[in-house]
Amino acid sequence: MWCAKSRRTVSACKPKVYFPLLNSAKPISDIKLAKYGEWFNDCSDEIRECCTNALHRLHKQYGWKIVEVTIPEIEVMGLAHYLTIGSECSTSLSSHLEKLDFKELGWDVRLFMKGAYIN
């Protein structure tokens, strides 16, 4: 893919990362950033390296601390969130759902609407 502006490939058109200096009378130095490693590392090497560099830069430049955390039962919480959002959407759109052609919907939406996820 080409970048029209520079006539180079898109990967060569990436913007430079810029960290402005915090110009405050009271710099914020007691910030703690939580990093959930399992999700943080679930990406390509290029993205992981970029994000790791950003965290190191925030630590070096501002003194912010990076704290490794674990989130127990996160898969269960994700499922609960999915069900909550689905239920709220289904309720708010119920008057419109009757007019839909079910053949146009994905299988997951059809199962949800038939109550397969809610018992």
pLDDT for residue 93: 76
pLDDT for residue 70: 92
54 and 88, same domain (yes or no): no
Say what the pTM is.
0.49
64 and 87, same domain (yes or no): no
* Alpha-carbon distances, residue 98 vs 51, 85, 115 (angstroms): 45, 19, 15
Surface-to-core class of residue 55, CB atoms within 10 Å of its CB (0-12 exposed, 13-18 middle, 19+ buried): middle
Surface-to-core class of residue 35, CB atoms within 10 Å of its CB (0-12 exposed, 13-18 middle, 19+ buried): middle
End-to-end Cα distance, the chain: 48
> For residues 37 and 67, what is the distance between their CA atoms, to the nearest angstrom?
10
pLDDT tens, residue order, the chain (119 aa): 444 555 555 555 667 777 666 566 666 778 999 999 998 999 999 999 999 999 999 898 888 999 999 989 988 998 899 888 888 887 887 777 677 776 667 767 666 666 555 44
Q: Which residue segment(s) compose the domain that 86 sits in? A: 74-117
